[in-house]
Amino acid sequence: MRSLSMLQNETATPRIGALSILPLFFRLTDKRAVVAGATAAATWKAELLCAAGAKVEVFAEPEDVSTEMAALAESTPSLKLTPRRWQPADLKDAAIAIADAEEEEEAAAFTAAAAAVGAPCNVIDKPDYCQFQFGTIVNRSPVVVGVSTSGASPVLGQAIRRKIETLLPAQIAEWADLAHSWRKSLAEKVPFASGQRTFWEQFVNRAFISRPGKDALEELHAAASAVENKGHVTFVGAGPGDAELLTLKAVRALQAAEVILFDDLVSDEVLELARREAKRILVGKRAGRPSCKQHEINEMMVKLAKAGLRVVRLKSGDPMIFGRAGEEIEALEEAGIGYDVVPGVTAGLAMASRLGVSLTHRDCAKSVRFVTGHSRHGGLPKDVDWKAIADRSATTVFYMGGRTAGAISATLIEHGMSADTPVAVGADIGRSTEIIRRTNLAGLEACCNEIGQGQPVLIAVGEVFRQRAVVGQFNLERQQARATA
């Protein structure tokens, strides 16, 4: 059994996936930048450097100076054009060095000269000689977004930039400018952390919908000052595993979290969307494995929230369906701690969507039910109306029913359901390891045994799976083919 202290020190798999390139932002204000060459391509790089506040020196033979570079030099006081070839001594004290060199020998010489003085170097269109790359830029300065495809497809990078351009309104720049001047005032007027979080959350919400008014600071201060220095818990549904199924509200909660208590079934892709600085604590409970006890989770949530932290309780699927959220909410209410709930896509609905099956198809089912596949003692729950569950006009989804599949099948047949009633069995829905099998009640136990007992299994029973068997299988095969293409 894992102790509470062990769980607090436990970490997930690496929080950041492999990066082909590390995105960095250079502060170049009043720094010296050297550009070797005066082609149109070099002109664009020089213009970027000037826009970033650098003092740019361009070296090029007079006959090699493009009309674009000549015009830029004439109109830009921070750019100096020297009509000769660059020399290694020119790179001394350079904060950054750019060259447009056609010949490999020239590129190698420039790279070596830059390395000798410790200047980061980029040779245009020659990645082997580049210490860094220029990405495509979305400019809402002081908000600057850079996009890189590591040289694989500049056209793709430009397409991504256009998408981001449509998402970032022009007034973002005005709000970001004001944020600089407001920080000191905020610390003085709202000294506690939870109030400051409220300030910045409302700041962000306004930044995306309107331009800042003259009383914006006072209004945000007033709202933030009204917040007590208390922590808060947000229950977030992580869905079945596919990060693209998260709601926008769920992503915002993950980005605002200081501590994340996450279930064993939450995928790495979902955790990747969380705030980098957030502490992550695994509190998973899995049958047959060492697990955190429920009272430990409750105590941990209360303790963290009382310390004034913003906690996200991240649960697979939907937090209000077989996630024991009710017990955790009761603990928070007893401690006087605020909470909210962000729903998620529960696994039963995710599997139905994968198969293209309507769980309430009007020709087959008048209702849908979610039923636990095991009791707290591990066996089949006895306090369930199995006669009602065996109703052929309903669709029933059993959660965590892998270990009791044989008992589920036998009990439903005993209460009048036909042995050939169609069944869909799934595990790891929406992930690369997804398994979905079709069977019937008679073959349910064998099907679950084939999938294996080491993972949670979802069992869906009903005539809707007979009605859509062919089309559903076609949809599933098509989606799987797209995922592996």
- Range with the lowest mean pLDDT among 7-11, 211-215, 401-405? 7-11
Angle, vertex CA 326, rays to CA 342 and CA 398, nearest 5: 85
> Terminal CA-to-CA distance of the chain, rounded, Å?
42
User: To which residue do tokens 């256009």 refer?
Assistant: 162
Angle between helices 444-451 and 405-414 (to 10 degrees): 170
Q: What is the mean pLDDT of residues 250-273?
A: 90
Specify the pLDDT at position 187: 75
Say yes or no to pLDDT of 62 above 60.
yes
Closest CA to 386 of 278, 349, 394: 394
Catalytic residues: 263, 285
Specify the pLDDT at position 471: 45
Specify the pLDDT at position 167: 83
User: Is residue 259 within 8 Å of residue 304, measured between CB atoms?
Assistant: yes
Buried b (16+ CB within 10 A) or exposed e, 276-307: eebebbbbbeeeeeebbeeebbbebbbebbee
User: Is residue 94 within 8 Å of residue 117, measured between CB atoms?
Assistant: yes
- Distance CA(105)–CA(102), nearest Å, equals 9
Whether the bond into 62 is cis, omega within 30 of 0: no
For residue 86, count CB atoms less than 10 angstroms from its CB and return exposed for 0-12, middle for 13-18, buried for 19 or more: buried
Measured in whole angstroms, the distance separating CA 113 from the mean position of its chain's CA atoms is: 41
User: To which residue do tokens 């208590």 refer?
Assistant: 261
Q: What does pTM read for this prediction?
A: 0.64
- Secondary structure (3-state) at 324: coil
> The tokens of 481 are what?
């083919």
Report strand pairing: 96-99 vs 32-36.
parallel
Specify the pLDDT at position 2: 46
Categorize the per-residue pLDDT at 479 as very low, low, confident or very high, splitting at 50, 70 and 90.
Answer: low
Say yes or no to pLDDT of 12 above 60.
no
- Distance CA(53)–CA(57), nearest Å, equals 13
- Proportion of the chain above pLDDT 90, given as a percent: 58
Specify the pLDDT at position 482: 54
- Distance CA(239)–CA(123), nearest Å, equals 45
- Secondary structure (3-state) at 475: helix
User: Is residue 231 within 8 Å of residue 192, measured between CB atoms?
Assistant: no
- Secondary structure (3-state) at 138: strand
Question: Phi/psi at 206 (nearest 5 deg)?
Answer: -70, -35
Categorize the per-residue pLDDT at 179 as very low, low, confident or very high, splitting at 50, 70 and 90.
Answer: confident
> The tokens of 296 are what?
């430990």
Specify the pLDDT at position 7: 43
Angle between helices 216-225 and 193-207 (to 10 degrees): 140
Report strand pairing: 121-123 vs 96-99.
parallel
Tell me how far CA of residue 123 lies from CA of 25, 238, 337, in angstroms: 18, 44, 57
Say yes or no to pLDDT of 368 above 80.
yes
pLDDT digits (tens, 9 = 90+) for 123-152: 999 989 999 989 899 999 999 999 998 878
- For residue 103, give every residue at least 6 positions away whose Cβ sits within 8 Å of its Cβ, in sequence order, or none: none
> The tokens of 393 are what?
């006009």
Which position has the higher pLDDT, 377 or 234?
234
Question: Phi/psi at 426 (nearest 5 deg)?
Answer: -140, 155
pLDDT digits (tens, 9 = 90+) for 384-402: 899 999 999 999 999 988 8
Under DSSP, the state recorded for 84 is: S
Say yes or no to pLDDT of 362 above 80.
yes
Say yes or no to pLDDT of 15 above 70.
no
